[in-house]
Amino acid sequence: MSDVMPTSELPSRRSFLRTGTLAAVALPAAVGAITACNPDLAARQPTVPDDHAPGHDAAPAAAGPKTARERADEMDRHHEAGIKAFPAKTEGKGNQPLAPKMVGGVKVFELTCSEVQWETKPGKRVKAWAYNGQVPGPQIRVREGDRVRVLVKNELPESTAVHFHGLEVPNDQDGVPFITQPPIKPGESYTYEFTVPNAGSHMYHSHHNAAVQVGNGLLGAFIVEPRDRSGEPKVDVDYTMILNDGVHDFTLNGKDFPATEPVVCKKGETVRVRFMNEGMMIHPMHLHGMHMTVIAKDGWPQPMPWKCDTLNIAPGERWDVLIKANNPGTWAFHCHILSHAEAPQGMFGMVTVLVVQDATTA
């Protein structure tokens, strides 16, 4: 990985915290970024021939048949409104770091499963089954070799169980009802405990009536930092992006554009994106303006990193990529199954942006 500097300390933890910091300031910055990064946007108007002069639609009839131009303007207003609303504020934010309690050298995480109302975009509230009220559930981040205990309380009307997808735990901690444990009945609690066996970008989710329960929101990231960090890339931003396509429509980290979250960095920085697909469809994620270097699959390093701008992510897969943010601006970043990203009314669903702030303007 010639374009990534060697690591000499614990950058992921540091950048992870930093990401949290960025998230707090990024939203207004990103709004500004979209309209401000091209300050001459208004100046670069398309050429207008006489028969399409702006005056043509200066006073459109309020009713009656519309001209093509009037219909185009109306469509464009919808598109513009979506972009200008981004990143739209909604209630609730998923994938937030979950701090463990330390109990006798064990990192203890508590997860409560319950039904909540989840706002996926402004004004759209849907029923969700959530861990700790978040969709995706809170992000668990530990280190290879840590002793971990996960206390699960089930406040749902159905039984459930938690599978640690990608972690090579002992069989009796695998979370599959009637194969490795009894189901966790409504109102009951259950405890998982294991020594974290393998590093990488993993997930936790329901493994009981899972097509329904994971679709409803019972899923989250379980990220394991390696004990030996000598092979880890040095990154400035470490971003986890969980894709879903269930009853909550097409979402990135539980939100539907324009309520998705921008990924924000400075020019020259390296961004690590950990893609995770918790849905039932493929999502080929396309980044504009820069390529992505694929470094890991399901938490395992790829033997030879390779480059792309569109990465096909199938259900259950995790892919880690690095982005060398050398091209300043606000860049669309979306699923390239276009019907998951744009309608005649404008962009929606699996769309966000990567904002690369120029040092001179930031």
Site for a copy of itself in 3-62 (CB under 8 A): 34, 37-38, 40-42, 44-49, 51-52
Residue 247 beta carbon to a copy of itself: minimum distance, rounded to whole angstroms: 12
Report which residue type is found at 255: K
Among 94, 253, 353, 357, binds a copy of itself (CB under 8 A): 353
Nearer to a copy of itself, 97 or 315 (CB): 315
Are 354 and 323 spatial neighbours (Cβ–Cβ below 8 Å)? yes
Question: In this structure, are residues 108 and 100 in contact, taking their beta carbons and an 8 Å threshold?
Answer: yes
CB nearer to a copy of itself: pick between 91 and 309: 309
Q: In this complex, which beta carbon is closest to a copy of itself, that of residue 146 or of residue 188?
A: 188
Nearer to a copy of itself, 92 or 346 (CB): 346
Q: Which residues pair with 313 in a beta bridge?
A: 283
Contacts (CB under 8 A) with a copy of itself, residues 296-335:
297-300, 302-310, 312, 314-318, 327-332
CA distances from 52 to 183, 192, 277 (A): 66, 67, 46
Q: Does 89 bind a copy of itself (CB under 8 A)?
A: no
In terms of Cα–Cα distance, which of 162, 220, 199 is closest to 298?
A: 199
Is the Cβ–Cβ distance between 215 and 246 less than 8 Å?
yes
CA–CA dist 114, 354 (Å, integer)? 33
Please give the size of the binding site for a copy of itself, defined by CB under 8 A.
106
Binding track, positions 172-191, relative to a copy of itself; x by CB under 8 A: x-x-xxxxxxxxxxxxxxxx
Question: Which residues contact residue 153 at a Cβ distance below 8 angstroms, ignoring those fewer than 6 apart?
Answer: 110, 111, 112, 113, 188, 189
From the list 19-27, 97-105, 168-176, 262-270, the region that binds a copy of itself by CB under 8 A is 168-176
Nearer CB in complex with a copy of itself: 141/207: 207
Residue 358 in tokens: 């120029």
- Encoded one letter per residue, x for contact with a copy of itself by CB under 8 A and - for no contact, window 201-230 reads ------xxxxxx-xx---------------
For a copy of itself, the closer of residues 79 and 93 by Cβ is 79
Q: Which is nearer to a copy of itself, 109 or 190 (CB)?
A: 190
- In order, the DSSP letters of 212-274 are HHHHHT-EEEEEEE-S-GGGSPP-SEEEEEEEE-STT-SEETTB-BTSS--EEEETT-EEEEE
Cβ closest to a copy of itself, residue 119 vs residue 271: 271
**Which residues is 292 bridged to in the sheet?**
308
Site for a copy of itself in 107-136 (CB under 8 A): none
Part of the chain binding a copy of itself (CB under 8 A), chosen from 90-98, 117-125, 164-172, 221-229: 164-172
User: 108-145: buried (b, 16+ CB within 10 Å) or exposed (e) per residue?
Assistant: bbbbbbeebebbbbeeeebebbbbbbbbbbbbbbbbbe
Please state the closest distance from residue 157 (CB atom) to a copy of itself, in A: 4
Binder of a copy of itself out of 137, 148, 286, 350 (CB under 8 A): 286
Give the separation between CA 312 and CA 280, rounded to whole angstroms.
13
Least Å distance between CB 52 and a copy of itself? Answer: 3
Shortest Å distance, C-beta 8 to a copy of itself: 26
DSSP string across 301-320: EEEEEEEESEEEE-TT-EEE
Nearer to a copy of itself among residue 51 and residue 228 (C-beta): 51
